[in-house]
Structure 1
Amino acid sequence: MPTDNTVDIDPKNHIASVVKATRILESFDPESPELSIQELVKRCGYTRTTTYRILDTLELVGWIERTSAGGYKMTLRVFELASRVLGSFDLRTEASHVMSDLAARYDENVYLVVPDGTRAVCLDLIESSRPVRVMSLSVGRSLPLFIGGAPLALLAELEDTFLPRVLAGGPLTSPSGQEVSEQQLRRILADTRARGYAVSMEDVTPGVAALGACIFDRSGRPVAALSFGGFVANFAQPRQSELAGALVEGALTISRRLGYQGGE
């Protein structure tokens, strides 16, 4: 239950109604899974009219529902969201040993990336020991799904669902200025699936290359991607094939730990 309702809100950067809605959601706890509007007014300190309007909006979008007793409680949508977050933590835990092993063996940046709409977000990263940093993606930052090793690996497996949304976002232009047509992107995705991993050569940052391989959960759904990133010179053949083999094996190991049964 929230204990402090005083929050410094900058009208230029913060939306007060969102903060208030969050406070109301945080009022529910294991001891009070159902609350009346009077109890919520008391806990949050908002007027009855404001509290009712927020509750009505939360009910409209499916986060809150009314009970037979006339009170309010959170819906399973809140649980579903929490489950996604917990799943991310499980993923990070299961991936950590594999990432550490790959970083130690090959001394390249190793990334763990998850899909987020039409972008891919870096969940974890182990940097190489090289004094010159080549990172194009740091923890919490994201890239479009149509560029980079890990994003392309994800898009190749999620093409039917996400490619139309990617294409609807406008011209496919990378941060390095490269433009990719729909036909080229579809060919890249097909090659990625056939190969079993994605190859990214300087499409994000000049002089930097990356490889990406998908991670699957127990239902066979692509939930993340493992990636190597480093200087282009370090990704020439035959080392590229060696890195790719280790990456695919590492991604499969993590998938197995998540309950995946495929990939025989």
Structure 2
Amino acid sequence: MVTSVGAPTVGAALRILSFMAAQQGPVAAATLARSLGLPRSSVYRLLGELAEQGFVLRFPEARRYGLGIAAFELSSGYVRQEPVTRLGRPVLAALVDRVGESAHLAVLVGGEVVYLVEERAPRRPALVTDVGVRLPSQLTASGRALLAALPREQVRALFPDAASLVARGVEVSPRELRAVLVATRARGYAEEDGEVTPGFASVAVAVTDRAGWPVTSLAVTFEAAAVTPQRRVELAGAVRRQAQELRRRLFGA
């Protein structure tokens, strides 16, 4: 692409694609120009080139543009390369080295969390959060961190009634879950104490994408009786810093 002053640039094209990816549907060129602060002529020129390469589709009747199949192929390649696991593993290992407690990386799948990576600290007992294990999201710190980052409407869709929240012999009402998630947002991290494994507690922080959607969560699990309240806050701070590092690795500054 041309990169002289005032002409379309690769950066502008990427800004257009990123903006389109965050929308609910196709957008008008005028909306792109206004929202991104780009000359309308440059936007049309870039859209034409992106359409030729398959990254953008033009809807002539609606006078709007949407993402094309090439953009989908990029996202499929992203998934195949397992970036969350590959980039998350060293970040998780650094967290374990720093705090001396076991840690794990998890994602939200429906109403459950699935654990992708576990790093066990030396001389710490084995946990139930092994790779591939699924647990009810409402009971785990990892799940609560991810749920707290979702729109409230999405949480209601996942758990529409009390029956959908019964898991592992624990019954949580929708009102109780809302209170937990409100507290999680206010505190900046999620926690659970003995709800997954008696005697163990966890703190977790979600990693969100550029649109604010939760992608994964980092968590540390420890013996509850051996950790003071102040130490829990310190652990949560360490998890938050590593979550920010993983977000930087995944999505840039």
TM range (shorter): 0.5 to 0.7
Which residue in 1 is equivalent to 2:135?
Answer: 143
CA distance in 1, matches of 2:198, 2:180: 19
Q: Name 2:234's counterpart in structure 1.
A: 242
Is 1:86 equivalent to 2:80 in the alignment?
Answer: yes
1:112–1:122 contact (8 Å) kept in structure 2:
yes
Q: Give the Å deviation of 1:82.
A: 3.2
Take 1:217 and 1:192, find their aligned partners in 2: how far apart are those partners? 18
**Does residue 1:123 correspond to 2:116, yes or no?**
yes
Counterpart mapping for 1:146-225 below 5 A:
146-158=138-150, 159-168=152-161, 170-175=163-168, 177-225=169-217
Q: Could you give the per-residue CA deviations for residues 55-92 of structure 1, whole angstroms, max 9, x where no partner exists?
A: xxxxxxxxxxxxxxxxxxxx8898487346336x1112
User: Compared with structure 1, are the counterparts of its residues 119 and 169 closer, same or farther at alpha carbon in structure 2 (3 Å cutoff)?
Assistant: farther
Alignment of 1:25-36 (within 5 A): none
TM-score (norm 2): 0.66
Amino acid paired to 2:79? V
TM-score by length of 1: 0.63
Which consecutive unaligned segments of at least 5 residues does structure 2 have? Answer: 1-68
In the alignment, is the contact (CA less than 8 A) between 2:146 and 2:206 conserved in 1? yes
Aligned-partner residue type, residue 91 of structure 1: V
Cα distance between partner residues in 1 of 2:124 and 2:216: 28
Structure with higher Rg: it is: 1
What is the alpha-carbon distance in structure 2 between the residues aligned to residue 174 and residue 236 of structure 1?
A: 29
Q: CA deviation at 1:109?
A: 1.4
Contact 1:111 1:228 in 2 (8 A): yes
Q: 1:193 to 1:260 in 2, by over 3 A?
A: farther
2:98 paired residue number: 105
- Which segment drifts farther, 214-223 or 135-144? 214-223
Q: Is the 8 A contact 2:162 2:172 kept in 1?
A: no
Shift in Å, 1:236: 2.8
TM superposition shift of 1:184: 1.0
* Preserved contact between residue 115 and residue 130 of structure 2 (Cα < 8 Å): yes
Amino acid aligned to 2:232 = Q
Partner AA of 1:97 in structure 2: P
Distance across 2 between alignment mates of 1:185 and 1:96: 30
Amino acid of the residue matched to residue 217 of structure 2?
A: A
Once the two structures are superposed, what CA deviation does each residue of 1:190-241 show, in whole Å capped at 9, x if it has no partner? 0001111001111111111111100122333210000011211234311101
Quote the residue 2:224 is aligned against: 232
Task: Confirm or deny: 8 A CA contact 2:162 2:171 kept in the other structure.
Answer: no
Q: Secondary structure at the match of 1:92?
A: helix
- 1:220/1:229 Cα in 2 relative to 1: closer, same or farther (>3 Å)? same
Q: d(CA) in 2 for partners of 1:210 and 1:195?
A: 14
Question: Over aligned residues, Cα RMSD in angstroms?
Answer: 2.4
Q: Percent identity?
A: 31
Partner amino acid, structure 1, of 2:157: P
Number of residue equivalences:
184
Indicate conservation of the 8 Å contact 2:162/2:174, yes or no: no
